[in-house]
Each structure stands twice: as structure tokens, then as C-alpha cells.
């Protein structure tokens, strides 16, 4: 009887404990039951779920930033270059000051020579002029006669009474010089120039016609000799006076040819001597 009562009590306690466990939500026990055989299949790598960031409370939300105003710097003004030649000297910028820039000659105003370049006086930068002077002249010629002595590179205007005005001149080159007697058939101020065919053969780049002016090789005045192409005229190459430089014409400085032009009458005799 005692054994039956003990077993009945144990069964009651066991049933009560099971009912209590079910009421408590079937809390896990310390030792878990062994898994079944079909649960032992290999499982893939487990990835831990990443916790989602908690949303910030509405009270802590930051307000949207206001657009920032951008201030633009004022445009830099170009620095004004100092004026004057010495202020810009050595800057290495030829456009810094155009006031002192050398003007370029226009093609119509270029200087032309009736002979190739290459004189012996450093391109004409330094030369000396031979002034006209009154000299003794004992030869018997009528006053107003013009005598040209090519070997001396001198022209004489006979004054009379044993005197003459002496001028320095340039004469024709070897092979172009001539000698003879002619008369002044025409006189012109600032004459035009038409190069002869012989000159154009030597210098084909010359213009076929050139108006009178300071750059014209005929110079300020011209005395035409008879019906020939020879003339006594000025020059735009005063450094060539005293040399054999022309194609047969007699060249003078512009100052001297103006003085001779004013003294000489039409029809005056001109004698060119070797």
C-alpha cells in the first residue's frame, strides 16, 4: 500500500510539474534534448543580421542647411603701364608704349636708290658733308656756265671775275660716266622718277614710277640736260657725295642743288669733263 501511495504521489508531482512548465511558456531547460538525425545536415554559413539604425527622434532632427551666398571678387583692373621712354626701358615688351615705336614705312614711301646698297660709310649713319665755297677760277667761261670735273668730283658754277662756286658731287660709275657739252633744257622741283631699262635690269625690284618727295632718289631739284636722260639733281643718299655712284647723272646734296637751281637759267651751258 505504501509503495502504491508513493508511486501515485510521484505521478501527481510529475503531472503537476509538466502542467506548470506548459503554463510558464515552456521555458528552456538547462540541458537541451539531442537533435534528430535528419537535423544533422550541414548548414551554410550563418550571416548575422545587421541591426538597423534607430531613427533619430523628431526633436533631434537637424534643419536643412540654408544656401550660402557666394561673394565674387571684383574684377582686377589692368595695371597701367608707366608712360615715357625711360619708364619702359628694358621691360622687354615692345607693346608697352607705342609712343616711341619706330613708325613703319608704307610701301609707297620706301626709299629707293639707283645703285645697289653697300656703301663704305657704315650705311650712311655717319658721313661728312663738303660745303660749297667760292674759289679762284681762271678759265675763260661766261658767267652762268656749269663745269663738271669728274676726276675731282666737283662742279663749278662760273661767277665771273676769276671766281666760281665749287660744289661737291657724285659722278657716274666706271662704264656709265660720260663727257660732253649740253644745255639746261628743263628745271623741276621735286621731280618724279622713272628708272631706265638699264637700271631695271640691275635692280628689277625697283618701282616703274615714283612720285617726287624726300624719299625719291632724284632729290629736291633737277636740271635736265638737253634731250638726253642725264640730269644734275639732288639725292636721298647724301653720304654718296664725292664718289662714283650714279648711272651717269650728276648728284648733289639737296641743299646744294637748290642753291644751283636758283642760280641757273634755262639754256645755260653745261660742260662735263673727265
DSSP assignment of 29-87 equals PSSPPPPPGGG-S--PPP-PPPPPPPPPPGGGPPPPPPPPPPPPPPPPPPPPPPPSTGG
Q: Is 257 a catalytic residue?
A: no
**Strand 244-246, strand 171-172: pairing:** parallel
Helix, coil or strand: residue 108: helix
The Cβ-side half-sphere exposure at 27, using a 13 Å CA radius, reads 7
Annotated active-site residue in 155, 165, 241, 249: 249
In order, the DSSP letters of 153-204 are TEEEEEEETTEEEEEE-BEEPTTT---EEEEEEEEEES--B---HHHHHH-T
Given the residues 132, 231, 233, 251, select the one marked as catalytic.
233
> Is 109 an annotated catalytic residue?
no
Between the two ends of the chain, the Cα-to-Cα distance in Å is 185
Fill in the DSSP letter of residue 210: B
What is the distance between the alpha carbons of residues 165 and 146, in angstroms, rounded to a whole number? 10
Query: What sign does the CA torsion over 86, 92, 95, 101 have?
Result: positive
255: cell is 641743299
- Which run of H or of E encompasses 9? helix 2-23
Catalytic residue list:
233, 249
Amino acid at each position: 500500500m505504501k509503495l502504491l501511495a508513493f508511486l501515485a504521489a510521484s505521478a501527481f508531482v510529475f503531472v503537476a510539474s509538466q502542467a506548470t512548465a506548459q503554463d510558464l511558456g515552456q521555458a528552456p531547460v538547462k540541458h537541451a534534448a539531442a537533435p534528430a538525425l535528419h537535423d544533422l545536415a550541414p548548414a551554410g554559413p550563418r550571416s548575422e543580421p545587421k541591426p538597423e539604425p534607430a531613427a533619430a527622434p523628431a526633436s533631434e532632427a537637424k534643419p536643412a542647411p540654408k544656401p550660402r551666398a557666394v561673394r565674387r571678387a571684383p574684377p582686377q583692373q589692368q595695371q597701367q603701364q608707366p608712360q615715357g621712354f625711360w619708364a619702359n626701358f628694358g621691360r622687354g615688351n615692345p607693346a608697352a608704349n607705342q609712343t616711341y615705336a619706330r613708325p613703319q614705312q608704307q610701301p609707297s614711301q620706301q626709299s629707293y636708290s639707283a645703285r645697289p646698297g653697300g656703301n663704305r660709310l657704315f650705311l650712311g649713319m655717319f658721313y661728312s658733308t663738303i660745303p660749297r665755297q667760292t674759289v679762284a677760277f681762271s678759265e675763260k667761261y661766261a658767267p652762268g656756265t656749269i663745269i663738271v670735273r669728274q676726276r675731282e668730283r666737283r662742279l663749278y658754277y662760273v661767277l665771273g671775275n676769276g671766281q666760281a662756286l665749287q660744289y661737291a658731287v657724285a659722278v657716274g660709275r666706271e662704264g656709265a660716266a660720260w663727257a660732253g657739252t649740253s644745255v639746261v633744257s628743263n628745271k623741276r622741283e621735286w621731280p618724279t622718277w622713272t628708272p631706265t631699262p638699264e637700271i631695271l635690269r640691275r635692280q628689277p625690284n625697283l618701282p616703274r614710277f615714283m612720285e617726287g618727295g624726300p624719299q625719291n632718289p632724284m632729290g629736291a631739284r633737277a636740271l635736265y640736260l638737253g634731250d638726253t636722260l642725264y640730269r644734275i639733281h639732288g639725292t636721298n643718299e647724301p653720304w654718296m657725295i664725292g664718289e662714283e655712284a650714279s648711272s651717269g647723272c650728276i648728284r648733289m646734296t639737296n641743299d646744294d642743288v637748290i642753291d644751283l637751281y636758283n642760280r641757273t637759267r634755262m639754256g645755260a651751258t653745261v660742260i662735263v669733263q673727265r
